[in-house]
Amino acid sequence: MAVLELANISKHFGAIQAVSDVSLSLHAGEVVGLMGDNGAGKSTLVKMIAGNFRPSHGTIRLDGADLVLHRPVEARQHGIEIVYQDLALCDNLTAAANVFLGRELRRGVGPLRVLDHKSMYRRAGEIFKELKSETRARDLVKQMSGGQRQAVAIARTMLSRAKIVLMDEPTAAISVRQVAEVLNLIRHLRDSGIAVVLISHRMPDVFDVADRVIVMRRGRKVADKPIAATSPEEVTGLITGAIEQV
């Protein structure tokens, strides 16, 4: 059964039609590459799933139940996690502090609750170990490499039992070796049964890690097929409009 189903979703801002009539479904343990040129509507689509925008038309169903989101925090409560393109990390804090930002562990009772640094370091350390990342929980984020920073952002999504992880251009600004690191992290999420949406401009990354590719052009979904049944040439054609639709 699909974890997330979008049915006939449209979004317009005034007269501008950003997304029109898009339907798609995500399954557990699947990586879906979402591709398209700038302005094709992919980030608008993702922002609707993430609770930043509400769709003008259409419905979103999570585990079969209608989902209406007003704020990004609500998406997180429903098990939808987002890794932002700029990673949304605080450089002046430790890796653990960033992982737990906004949902710090505390101990004590009532108003006398204090931060539970020890548990947060331990739990963050466990997550990094699980991700097979060299990131250390006590290091400051400003001292980290691009790959380690990605690991911190991804570790956030593993705090709660996320069902869906949306990743916005996770490999856009990092070195080749770090890209491999990040793709491994994505595979790890998939293997633990999470549905991953990978928004990317980088064809090799999508073909390396994704199970399925969805192509958007001018607000419409123009392709949705398994990676095995397509080729980089075809996807390029779909993105640019050389191929109308498949």
Q: Is there binding between residue 84 and another protein (CB under 8 A)?
A: yes
Nearer to another protein, 10 or 52 (CB): 52
Residues contacting another protein: total by CB under 8 A:
24
* Residue 148, SS3 per DSSP: helix
Residue partners of 32: CB distance under 8 A and separation at least 6: 26, 195, 196, 197, 198, 210, 211, 212, 213, 214
Q: Is there binding between residue 93 and another protein (CB under 8 A)?
A: yes
Site string for another protein, 105-144 (x = CB under 8 A): -x-------xx--------------------x-x------
| Candidate list 23, 27, 90, 231; residue touching another protein; CB under 8 A | 90
Closest separation in Å from C-beta 205 to another protein: 23
Q: Which segments of the chain are extended strands (E)?
A: 2-13, 16-27, 31-36, 57-62, 65-66, 80-83, 106-107, 114-115, 164-168, 195-199, 212-217, 220-226
Task: Note the residues at the interface with another protein (CB under 8 A).
Answer: 72-73, 76, 82, 84, 86-93, 97, 101-104, 106, 114-115, 136, 138, 156
